Chain A
Amino acid sequence: AQTVTQSQPEMSVQEAETVTLSCTYDTSESDYYLFWYKQPPSRQMILVIRQEAYKQQNATENRFSVNFQKAAKSFSLKISDSQLGDAAMYFCAYLSIQGAQKLVFGQGTRLTINP
């Protein structure tokens, strides 16, 4: 079974600076999808960024980018020019395209933005 590990329960960053959230996963599959979701306080979870494992190029969405290291099974999220609205729980998730195709989540990282 696949597992996703986020080793940083909490992170903080100064407004306008850059922060990197870590995620590692364990799988024997060669093709899969990885996601970062953001869950602001008392608000719903929204997709931040998505990466297809067969693509070597790292996904980017405006200030959000990933560092996908397939061999190392690492999928970190970099947030540039941090804004107060970035404060949230961030979840890394793995989606298998085989079998039951279940989305497996990490434990989450709580990101605080300091003004």
Chain B
Amino acid sequence: ETGVTQTPRHLVMGMTNKKSLKCEQHLGHNAMYWYKQSAKKPLELMFVYNFKEQTENNSVPSRFSPECPNSSHLFLHLHTLQPEDSALYLCASSQEQGGRDTQYFGPGTRLTVL
């Protein structure tokens, strides 16, 4: 369970705040992912990075801004969020974005937007 870590585990923020979520993987993987898990909805893929390059933006609002400085770290910068953005944000990694590789998940950040 320590292969992919996320901080913070819980975050409460106001609509005018700016905060960042951090993900780190210790598996030597080259692809990293952000997912949103809302109550009673399937997990939704938000962003994909492969070898530090963003390869997928799944029509995510611009108030979510990802950053991948290297293959081990992934950030999600948050600003002017809405209450409906409250959810569990999951980070995952895989060897490559190559279709045959299993994705390994972090524990998630539980975000509450007031």
Known contacts A98-B99, A107-B41; 17 further A-B pairs (Cβ under 8 A)? A37-B105, A43-B1, A44-B106, A44-B108, A45-B90, A47-B104, A50-B102, A91-B43, A100-B55, A100-B56, A101-B98, A101-B99, A102-B45, A102-B48, A103-B103, A105-B42, A107-B40
- Max count, chain B CB within 10 A of own CB: residue among A50, A97, A103: A103
Q: How many residues of A contact B (CB 8 A)?
A: 24
Contact A106 B100 (CB under 8 A): no
Contact A101 B43 (CB under 8 A): no
Q: How many residues of B contact A (CB 8 A)?
A: 24
**Do most interface residues of chain B lie in helix, strand or loop, or is the interface mixed?**
loop
> Chain A, 22-44, contact with B by CB distance < 8 Å: what is the 0/1 string?
00000000000101010000011
Contact B42 A103 (CB under 8 A): no
Residues of A within 8 A of B (CB): 4, 33, 35, 37, 43-47, 50, 91, 95-98, 100-108
